[in-house]
């Protein structure tokens, strides 16, 4: 089916999805406007190993690694807005990363069988399907580790780095040279960067316009220093790329490719860091093993604070998002045996 017909066709199916895929918990507690530190947990959130978290359209979208549900929370109140289930497009909501594009969000899905072959765009406010693009099964979407949308292009990391045009629905290119299990992707200044989880500790840079390989950056340390927990994301602020890397973290110049700062001193509290977020002149690293969040000055990389203990109640924090002056951190509780509950969210001021 030509892509031009997709919005109208799938618009007719959104009503079906809204009734079959989305549920609203009428009993969700209404939290007053969030200020200070809050820990959100309880059955109304349907948390089951909350994993990745994304801020879009005034809401927080949280994937649950233990189920195929996605919890959507109001950023202003902390109350449950909706809980999404797979629905007729078999949306992959818990096992793969999502990608934010303006006020919409992208995930993966399939129509029949169990092989993911759809790029699915959801309305960030309502959760309704906007369109679904069938890209086939040969691109191995089931092994997706990271994806990001930049303009009309989606970059997806599986065992290769594949670029999809979201206007035509066609694959632009699939890059395998200098790509070794891309686990994190960032796009800025006309280049796409990806972290290689295999083949050494490296970053690879490609031109977004041509896919041409630009350079590879070798990072200090060894693969064992990541402890089996490679970064799930990285962010670019200005000309600086911030990368979490297990027992250490890096600030890297996207201009020169040089490591500007290596954060590996005990005072930084970095421990199995896999996620980083930034706002204004602050950067936060989420430390899974250390049960903490490390806040840094973006310009100087100086330590601002290590948030740990009460009242944060971090339990194996995985990921974070920044919205409306607050940092939202997912607590997976994944190393508790047996787990005491499905997980929680810690909300702290972005000071």
Find out if CATH 2.130.10.10 is the number for domain 3-349: yes
pLDDT of residue 336: 59
Quick check: bond before 299 cis, omega within 30? no
Exposed/middle/buried for residue 82 (C-beta within 10 Å: 0-12, 13-18, 19+): buried
CB-based contacts of 23: which residues, under 8 Å, 6+ apart? Answer: 82, 83, 85
pTM above 0.75, yes or no: yes
Residue with tokens 């507690």: 29
Is residue 201 very low, low, confident or very high in pLDDT (cuts 50, 70, 90)?
A: confident
Asked if 339 and 316 touch (Cβ cutoff 8 Å), the reply is no
Q: How far apart are alpha carbons 287 and 247 in whole angstroms?
A: 9
pLDDT of residue 200: 72
Residue 341 or 283, more confident: 283
Quick check: bond before 338 cis, omega within 30? yes
Using the predicted structure, report yes or no on whether residue 10 has a pLDDT greater than 60: no
Neighbours of 68 (CB within 10 A): 17
Q: How far apart are alpha carbons 135 and 5 in whole angstroms?
A: 16
Asked if 70 and 94 touch (Cβ cutoff 8 Å), the reply is yes
| Cα dist from 74 to 18, 57, 81, 106, 216, whole Å | 18, 10, 6, 19, 40
The CA radius of gyration of the chain, in Å to the nearest whole number, is 19
The alpha-helical segments, DSSP class H, found in the chain are: 6-20
Report the range of poorest mean pLDDT among 23-27, 129-133, 193-197, 222-226. 23-27
Neighbours of 51 (CB within 10 A): 21
Using the predicted structure, report yes or no on whether residue 27 has a pLDDT greater than 50: no
Asked if 194 and 182 touch (Cβ cutoff 8 Å), the reply is yes
- % of the chain residues with pLDDT over 70: 85
Strand partners, 40: 345
Report the range of poorest mean pLDDT among 87-91, 189-193, 339-343. 339-343
Using the predicted structure, report yes or no on whether residue 151 has a pLDDT greater than 60: yes
Strand partners, 157: 146, 161
The full set of domain ranges for the chain reads: 3-349
Residue with tokens 């290119």: 173
Q: How far apart are alpha carbons 184 and 207 in whole angstroms?
A: 16
Asked if 314 and 350 touch (Cβ cutoff 8 Å), the reply is no
CB-based contacts of 6: which residues, under 8 Å, 6+ apart? Answer: 131, 132, 133, 169
């Amino acid at each position: 089916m030509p892509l031009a017909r997709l919005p109208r066709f799938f618009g007719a199916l959104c009503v079906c999805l809204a009734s079959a895929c989305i549920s609203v918990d009428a009993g969700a507690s209404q939290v007053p406007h969030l200020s200070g530190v809050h820990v959100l947990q309880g059955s109304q959130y349907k948390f089951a190993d909350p994993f990745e978290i994304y801020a879009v359209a005034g809401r927080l979208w949280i994937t649950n690694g233990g189920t195929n549900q996605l919890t959507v929370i109001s950023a202003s109140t902390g109350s449950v807005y909706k809980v999404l289930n797979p629905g007729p497009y078999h949306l992959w909501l818990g096992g793969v990363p999502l990608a934010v594009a303006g006020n919409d969000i992208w995930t993966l899905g399939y129509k029949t069988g169990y092989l993911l072959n759809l790029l699915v765009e959801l309305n960030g406010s309502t959760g309704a399907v906007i369109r679904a693009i069938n890209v086939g099964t040969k691109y191995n979407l089931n092994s997706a580790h990271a994806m990001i949308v930049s303009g009309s292009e989606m970059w997806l990391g599986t065992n290769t780095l594949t670029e999809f045009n979201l206007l035509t629905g066609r694959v632009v290119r699939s890059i395998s040279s200098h790509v070794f299990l891309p686990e994190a992707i960032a796009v800025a200044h006309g280049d796409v960067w990806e972290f290689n989880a295999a083949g050494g500790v490296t970053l690879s840079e490609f031109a977004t316009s041509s896919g041409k390989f630009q350079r590879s950056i070798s990072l200090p340390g060894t693969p064992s220093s990541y402890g089996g927990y490679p970064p799930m994301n990285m962010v670019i602020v200005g000309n600086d790329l911030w990368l979490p890397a297990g027992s250490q973290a890096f600030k890297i110049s996207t201009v020169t490719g040089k490591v500007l700062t290596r954060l590996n001193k005990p005072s930084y509290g970095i421990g199995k860091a896999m996620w980083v977020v930034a706002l204004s002149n602050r950067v936060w690293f989420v430390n899974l093993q250390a049960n903490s969040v490390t806040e840094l000055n973006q310009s100087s990389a100086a330590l601002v604070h290590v948030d740990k203990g009460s009242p944060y109640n971090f339990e194996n924090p995985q990921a974070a998002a920044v919205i409306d002056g607050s940092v939202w951190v997912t607590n997976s509780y994944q190393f508790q045996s047996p787990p005491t509950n499905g997980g929680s969210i810690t909300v702290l001021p972005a000071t």
